Chains A and B, each alone.
Chain A
Amino acid sequence: MTTADATVAQPTATALPRKKIRWGEQVVHLVLFVAAAVSVLTTVGIVVSLVLPALEFFGEVSPVDFFTGTTWAPLFLDAHFGVLPLVVGTLVISFWSALVAFPLGIGVAIYLSEYAAPRATAFLKPVLEILAAIPTVVLGYFALTFVTPFLREQLGVQVEIFNALSASLVLGIMLIPTVATLSEDAMAAVPRDLRDGGYALGADKLQVSTRIVVPAAVSGIIAAFVLAFSRAVGETMIVLIAAGQLAQITFDPRETIETITAFIGATGNGDVPTGSIEYKTIFAVGLTLFVMTLIMNLISIRLVRKYREVYE
């Protein structure tokens, strides 16, 4: 029962050898950090490439006119720089595509997560991935050449040749895999115990799925929704081909509209003459778009954190 002091040898000043610095390891650490820094540089680049010309733009056009004006006619003699028609166009498209993608996506997710047999799932998930992999230019072409005539002729809906509805429908379908896979992941993360508890109490599959699993997975589902919505906001090709280039404020999806992305895509077109006001509108509008998707992403992170259920 001796005291610790007596039996343990005290370390002397020189007892422990200095830790050998392995220079190879340091180099590796540095290289890895540089690789990671690429992503940071990308963001910095995006911000710089958008903000600087946008500031120049706002030097010539008042921000108030830009954000509250209702006419978008930047390149005409009598120029108007109100971005609202573009923003409304973007939101109309996103709204209608969300209306398609959210319910259908959740339905697919619940089916895959709770109802489908493992063999069916193994087949269906790759098919869902295929849907997600279709290039957007092909989808836009489909919207213009199949969906619009189908709406007009088969369903009798009086849509313009370039209209928001066709684009939204196709865009919504394109986003189903996004909503479905993320929601399904969230649902799969819900522990079996919760389900089993429900069944043990006599609940049927419908009740377990909708009242236990979905609420438990809600943070992931919300994240899925927000991601899908922000992808709808940022989508270019489908709207460029099928939704049109008429910047007007209208909530009727059968009409022609112009989204922010379509404006950038059509005006950019590879020439973007430097220094002209046209060049700068692209950046002002691009900055608006970037800020919109950024805000949505931050909201998503916030909501996920707030509603996340942590299971042991």
Chain B
Amino acid sequence: MTTRALLTLLGCLAALSLVAVGCGGDDDSSAGGGLITADGSSTVGPFTTKAAEDWKADGGGDVTVGISGTGGGFERFCAGETDISNASRPIDEDEVTLCEEAGVGYIELRVATDALTNVVNLENDWATCLTVEQLNAIWKPGSEVDNWNQVDPSFPNVPLKLYGAGTDSGTFDYFTDVINGEEGASRSDFSATEDDNVTVQGVTGDRGALGYFGLSYFEENSDALKAVEVDGGNGCVAPSAETAQDDTYTPLSRPLFMYVKVSSLEDNEAVGEFLRYALENQNAIAEEALYVPLSQEQIDEQLQKLDDATA
């Protein structure tokens, strides 16, 4: 093989790939004009992904969805890198300031409801119901609880293995806020991950495991895990779409949000179209993606917000 032959081969390969890459975008370009970027919570991510998929199948455009965590999503959002920020908790003060300083205006849309579910291994037949106090005792900062019988003397002697949300996730923020009284306050010796699927894997593999994440992850894996009922002061309530919607599953039912950049709404028609689609079809999407649907009233309220912003 001569030098020339190799160079020619290389050159052809390069030209071919550049042409292909350059042309590749055409047949799949979005209907409304531009690409929509979404990032943030791994709890809300599957909802956004399902909405994007359905929208595309119905003639819509392209949406990319990342799962960097609610906190990470907001950082990127306020830096102007994304159009939509998925969040499993409301935007907090620091982030509001960050966005203000960067000149990023946004609107908040509630897109679904979630029930934060505590899960245990299928072989765990003792922890059917835990009180908020017990959860607090397990998860509070500096907690030394490492065995189930320390949670309740009637529980067997089984080592407690904890799996939870990473500190960048809204799930973590919400859980710690509600169970431990302050956002971010938690013991640190547990397997933390932004990706709730890893928690599922961990809990299914360990008899003494305890984890927490959004309802959709439980329902996706309800044959491999057990949900723990939570006693928030009014008796044991199991997490489900119904108990989340009627607020009996306290304190762990929470709203899920999409924050949208106002400038994206203005510059890219597709963004507004996508959100309108997601809200109008919220119930169908929520059912497919195993989220708690919103009531029609709630949906109309969000649609109104959207209209006001795009007016």
Contact = CB atoms under 8 A, between A and B. Distances in A.
A273 B188 CA distance: 21
Interface in A269-283: 269-274, 276, 278
Interface string B191-206: 1111000100110111
Interface in B218-261: none
Nearest to B204: A161
A248 B275 CA distance: 43
A253 interface: no
A160 interface: yes
A77 B68 contact: no
Nearest to A258: B191
Given A73-B188, A245-B193, A161 B205 contact: yes
A246 B66 CA distance: 24
A256 B201 CA distance: 13
A78 interface: yes
Given A76-B167, A78-B141, A245-B198, A271 B72 contact: yes
Interface string B138-152: 000110000000000
Q: Which of A72, A271, A272, A276 has the most CB of B within 10 A?
A: A271
Nearest to A162: B202
Contact of B193 (A80, A161, A266, A278): A266
B184 A76 contact: yes
B161 interface: yes
A244 interface: yes
Contact of B68 (A73, A78, A248, A269): A269
Looking at chain A's contact residues, the main secondary structure is loop
Contacts of B62: none
Interface stretch (B14-22, B73-81, B298-306): B73-81
B199 to A, nearest CB: 10
Q: Which of A256, A273, A276 has the most CB of B within 10 A?
A: A273
A77 to B, nearest CB: 4
A63 B73 CA distance: 30
Interface residues on A, range: 20 to 34
A77 B189 contact: no
Contacts of A273: 71-72, 74-76, 79
Given A270-B66, A273-B72, A274-B79, A75 B168 contact: yes
Contact of A278 (B66, B76, B168, B198): B168
Interface in A142-193: 160-162
A77 B141 contact: yes
Contacts of B122: none
A288 interface: no
A148 to B, nearest CB: 8
Interface string A237-273: 0000000111010000000100000000011011111
A267 B166 CA distance: 9
Interface string A39-77: 000000000000000000000000000000001110111
A78 B188 CA distance: 9
B182 A77 contact: yes
Interface residues of B, number: 36
Contact of A271 (B39, B201, B204, B206): B39
Contact of B189 (A246, A270, A274, A278): A246
Given A160-B161, A271-B39, A271-B66, A77 B191 contact: no
Contacts of A246: 189-192
A193 B39 CA distance: 66
A41 B141 CA distance: 45
Interface in B151-191: 161, 166-168, 176, 182-186, 188-191
A271 B73 contact: yes
Given A271-B69, A273-B72, A274-B79, A266 B188 contact: no
Contacts of A161: 201-202, 204-206
A89 to B, nearest CB: 13
Contact of B185 (A78, A256, A271): A78
Contacts of B74: 273
B202 to A, nearest CB: 6
Nearest to A266: B193
A301 B62 CA distance: 51
A160 B205 CA distance: 7
Contacts of B141: 76-78
B246 to A, nearest CB: 32
A75 B73 CA distance: 16
Interface string A122-148: 000000000000000000000000000
A46 B191 CA distance: 30
Contacts of B201: 161-162
A272 B192 CA distance: 17
A57 B69 CA distance: 22
A270 B68 contact: yes
Nearest to B162: A246
Nearest to B74: A273
Contacts of A73: 188-189
B205 A271 contact: no
Nearest to B66: A270
B184 A269 contact: no
Going nearest first, the 8 A-B pairs with the smallest beta carbon separation are A161-B205, A273-B75, A271-B68, A73-B188, A271-B72, A75-B167, A77-B184, A246-B191
Interface of B: 39, 66, 68-69, 71-76, 79, 141-142, 161, 166-168, 176, 182-186, 188-194, 198, 201-202, 204-206
9 contacts: A76-B141, A76-B185, A78-B142, A78-B188, A266-B194, A267-B168, A271-B73, A273-B72, A278-B168
Given A76-B188, A77-B176, A246-B191, 6 more contacts: A73-B189, A77-B141, A245-B192, A246-B192, A271-B69, A271-B75
